[in-house]
Structure 1
Amino acid sequence: MQRVDDKNLRARVKLFGNILGTVLAEQERPQVLETVEALRKGFIDLRQHEDPAKRRALMRLIGALDPHTLSHVVRAFATYFLLANIAEEDFANQQRRRHVQSGERLWYGSFDDTLRQLKAEGVSAGQLQQMLDALRFQPVFTAHPTEAKRRAVLEAQRRLYVLARRLNDPNLAEHQRRSLDQQILNQVQVLWKTDEVRIQKPVVEDEIKNGLFYFRETLFDTVPRVYRNLERALDNVYADEGGAKAFRVPAFLRFGSWIGGDRDGNPFVTHDVTKMAVRLQSREVLKHYRRRIEELQVQLTHSASLVRPSPVFEARMTADEDIVAEAFGAKPGRYAFEPYRRKLHLMHYRLGRQIARIETLLDGGSDPGRGAGYGSEDDLLADLLAISDSLISHGDSNVAAAELQDMIALVRTFGFFLAELDIRQESSRHTQAVAELFAKAPNLPDYNELNESARVGVLADLLSHAGTPLLYAQDLSDGTREILRVMRTMADLRREISPRAFGAYVISMTHQASHVLEVLFLASFAGLCGRHQDGSWHCDIRVAPLFETIDDLAKIEPTLEQLLDVGTYRALLKQSGNIQEVMLGYSDSCKDGGILASSWSLYKAQRLISRSTETRGLACRVFHGRGGSVGRGGGPTHDAILAQPPGTVNGDIKFTEQGEVLSAKYSNADTATYELTMGVSGLIKASRCMSVACTPDRADFIEIMDDLAQRGEASYRDLTDRTPGFIDYFYEGTPVAEIGLLNIGSRPSHRSKGDRSKYSVRAIPWVFAWAQSRQTIPAWYGIGSALKGWRGDDAERLQTLRAMVREWPFFRALLSNSAMSLSKSEMSIAREYADLCGEAGGSVFDRIQAEFNESNTQMLEVFEADELLGDNRQLAMSLARRNPYLDPINHIQIIALRHYRDAPESDQAERLRWQLPLLRSINALAAGMRNTG
Structure 2
Amino acid sequence: MQRVDDKNLRARVKLFGNLLGSVLSEQERPQVLETVEALRKGFIQLRQHEDPAKRRALMRLIGALDPHTLSHVVRAFATYFLLANIAEEDFANQQRRRHVLSGERLWYGSFDDTLRELKAQGMSVEQLQELLDALRFQPVFTAHPTEAKRRAVLEAQRRLYVLARRLNNPNLAEHQRRDLNGQILNQVQVLWKTDEVRIQKPVVEDEIKNGLFYFRETLFDTVPRVYRNLGRALDNVYGEEGGAKAFRIPAFLRFGSWIGGDRDGNPFVTDAVTKLAVRLQSREVLKHYRRRIEELQLQLTHSASLVRPSAAFEARLEADADIIAAAFGAKPGRYAFEPYRRKLHLMHYRLGVQISRIEALLDGLADPGRGAGYAAEDDFMADLLAIADSLISHGDANVADAELQDLVVLVRSFGFFLAELDIRQESTRHTEAVAELFAKAANLPDYNELNESARIGVLADLLSHAGTPLLYAQDLSENTREILRVMHTMAGLRREISPHLFGAYVISMTHQASHVLEVLFLASFAGLCGRHQDGTWHCDIRVAPLFETIEDLSKIEPTLVRLLDVPAYRAMLTASGNVQEVMLGYSDSCKDGGILASSWSLYKAQRLISQTAQSRGVACRMFHGRGGSVGRGGGPTHDAIMAQPPGTVRGDIKFTEQGEVLSAKYSNADTATYELTMGISGLMKASRCMSVACVPDQPDFMAVMDELAVRGEDSYRDLTDKTPGFIDYFYEGTPVAEIGLLNIGSRPSHRAKGDRSKYSVRAIPWVFAWAQSRQIIPAWYGIGAALKAWRGDDPARLARLREMARDWPFFRALLSNSKMSLSKSELSIAREYASLCGDGELAASIFARIAAEYEDSAAQMREVFESDELLSDNPQLAMSLARRNPYLDPLNHIQIIALRRYRDASDADPAERARWQLPLLRSINALATGMRNTG
1:724 is paired with a residue whose SS is coil
Q: CA deviation at 1:3?
A: 1.8
1:404-423 to 2 correspondences below 5 Å: 404-423=404-423
Aligned twin of 1:921:
923
Aligned twin of 1:815:
815
**What CA distance in whole angstroms lies between the structure 2 residues aligned with 1:575 and 1:154?**
43
1:426-437 to 2 correspondences below 5 Å: 426-437=426-437
**What CA distance in whole angstroms lies between the structure 2 residues aligned with 1:724 and 1:539?**
51
Deviations 1:318-349 (A, max 9, x none): 11111111100100000000000000000000
2:469 is paired with a residue whose SS is coil
**What CA distance in whole angstroms lies between the structure 2 residues aligned with 1:459 and 1:868?**
54
Aligned twin of 2:889:
887
**What CA distance in whole angstroms lies between the structure 2 residues aligned with 1:782 and 1:711?**
7
Deviations 1:372-404 (A, max 9, x none): 100000000000000000000000000000000
Aligned twin of 1:869:
871
Aligned twin of 2:704:
704
**What CA distance in whole angstroms lies between the structure 1 residues aligned with 2:121 and 2:551?**
40
How many residues are treated as equivalent by the alignment?
933
Are 1:300 and 2:267 matched, yes or no?
no
**What CA distance in whole angstroms lies between the structure 2 residues aligned with 1:144 and 1:807?**
35
Q: Residue type matched to 1:187 in 2?
A: Q
**What CA distance in whole angstroms lies between the structure 2 residues aligned with 1:471 and 1:785?**
57
Aligned twin of 1:345:
345
**What CA distance in whole angstroms lies between the structure 2 residues aligned with 1:430 and 1:851?**
42
Q: CA deviation at 1:528?
A: 0.1
1:7-26 to 2 correspondences below 5 Å: 7-26=7-26
Q: Residue type matched to 2:265 in 1?
A: G
**What CA distance in whole angstroms lies between the structure 1 residues aligned with 2:308 and 2:428?**
63
Aligned twin of 1:637:
637
Aligned twin of 1:468:
468
Q: Residue type matched to 1:210 in 2?
A: N
**What CA distance in whole angstroms lies between the structure 2 residues aligned with 1:695 and 1:89?**
36
**What CA distance in whole angstroms lies between the structure 1 residues aligned with 2:148 and 2:329?**
50
Aligned twin of 2:94:
94
Deviations 1:36-55 (A, max 9, x none): 00000000000011011100
Q: Residue type matched to 2:348 in 1?
A: H
Deviations 1:521-558 (A, max 9, x none): 00000000000111110000000000000000000000
Q: Residue type matched to 1:473 in 2?
A: A
Q: Residue type matched to 1:484 in 2?
A: L
Aligned twin of 2:672:
672
Q: CA deviation at 1:132?
A: 0.1
1:41-440 to 2 correspondences below 5 Å: 41-440=41-440
**What CA distance in whole angstroms lies between the structure 2 residues aligned with 1:830 and 1:239?**
56
For structure 2, the 5+ residue unaligned runs are: none
1:854 to 848, 853, 856: 856
Deviations 1:49-107 (A, max 9, x none): 10111000000000000000000000000000000000000000000000000000000
2:756 is paired with a residue whose SS is coil
Aligned twin of 2:555:
555
**What CA distance in whole angstroms lies between the structure 2 residues aligned with 1:622 and 1:871?**
30
2:836 is paired with a residue whose SS is helix
1:485-496 to 2 correspondences below 5 Å: 485-496=485-496
Deviations 1:428-471 (A, max 9, x none): 00000000000000000000000000000000000000000000
**What CA distance in whole angstroms lies between the structure 2 residues aligned with 1:605 and 1:468?**
36
Aligned twin of 1:899:
901
1:757 is paired with a residue whose SS is coil
Aligned twin of 1:443:
443
1:202 is paired with a residue whose SS is coil
2:617 is paired with a residue whose SS is coil
Are 1:613 and 2:622 matched, yes or no?
no
Q: Residue type matched to 1:359 in 2?
A: E
**What CA distance in whole angstroms lies between the structure 1 residues aligned with 2:564 and 2:869?**
48
Deviations 1:203-258 (A, max 9, x none): 00000000000000000000000000000000000001000000000010000000
1:374 is paired with a residue whose SS is coil
**What CA distance in whole angstroms lies between the structure 2 residues aligned with 1:470 and 1:319?**
42
**What CA distance in whole angstroms lies between the structure 2 residues aligned with 1:281 and 1:823?**
40
**What CA distance in whole angstroms lies between the structure 2 residues aligned with 1:44 and 1:8?**
21
Q: CA deviation at 1:2?
A: 1.7
Q: Residue type matched to 2:27 in 1?
A: Q
Are 1:662 and 2:665 matched, yes or no?
no
Aligned twin of 2:524:
524
Aligned twin of 1:733:
733
**What CA distance in whole angstroms lies between the structure 2 residues aligned with 1:423 and 1:262?**
5
Deviations 1:863-920 (A, max 9, x none): 1011100000000000000000000000000000000000010111000000000000
1:588-603 to 2 correspondences below 5 Å: 588-603=588-603
Are 1:930 and 2:932 matched, yes or no?
yes
1:210 is paired with a residue whose SS is helix
Q: Name the % identity.
A: 86
Q: Residue type matched to 2:854 in 1?
A: F
Are 1:750 and 2:744 matched, yes or no?
no
Deviations 1:502-522 (A, max 9, x none): 000000000000000000000
Aligned twin of 1:843:
845
Deviations 1:176-227 (A, max 9, x none): 0000000000000000000000000000000000000000000000000000
**What CA distance in whole angstroms lies between the structure 1 residues aligned with 2:2 and 2:278?**
48
**What CA distance in whole angstroms lies between the structure 1 residues aligned with 2:531 and 2:368?**
32
1:158 is paired with a residue whose SS is helix
2:740 is paired with a residue whose SS is helix
Aligned twin of 1:827:
827
1:742 is paired with a residue whose SS is coil
Q: Residue type matched to 2:98 in 1?
A: R
**What CA distance in whole angstroms lies between the structure 1 residues aligned with 2:844 and 2:724?**
12
Q: Residue type matched to 2:260 in 1?
A: G
Q: Residue type matched to 1:873 in 2?
A: P
**What CA distance in whole angstroms lies between the structure 1 residues aligned with 2:591 and 2:903?**
26
**What CA distance in whole angstroms lies between the structure 1 residues aligned with 2:754 and 2:13?**
44
**What CA distance in whole angstroms lies between the structure 2 residues aligned with 1:453 and 1:323?**
58
Q: Residue type matched to 1:346 in 2?
A: L
Q: Residue type matched to 1:507 in 2?
A: I
Name the TM-score, length of structure 2 as normaliser.
Answer: 1.00
Aligned twin of 2:912:
910
For structure 1, the 5+ residue unaligned runs are: none
Q: Residue type matched to 1:650 in 2?
A: R
2:195 is paired with a residue whose SS is coil
Deviations 1:555-580 (A, max 9, x none): 00000000000000000000111000
1:580 is paired with a residue whose SS is strand
**What CA distance in whole angstroms lies between the structure 1 residues aligned with 2:97 and 2:125?**
28
Aligned twin of 1:775:
775
**What CA distance in whole angstroms lies between the structure 2 residues aligned with 1:724 and 1:468?**
55
**What CA distance in whole angstroms lies between the structure 2 residues aligned with 1:242 and 1:650?**
26
1:543 is paired with a residue whose SS is strand
**What CA distance in whole angstroms lies between the structure 1 residues aligned with 2:910 and 2:297?**
61
**What CA distance in whole angstroms lies between the structure 2 residues aligned with 1:906 and 1:180?**
52
Aligned twin of 2:566:
566
2:46 is paired with a residue whose SS is helix
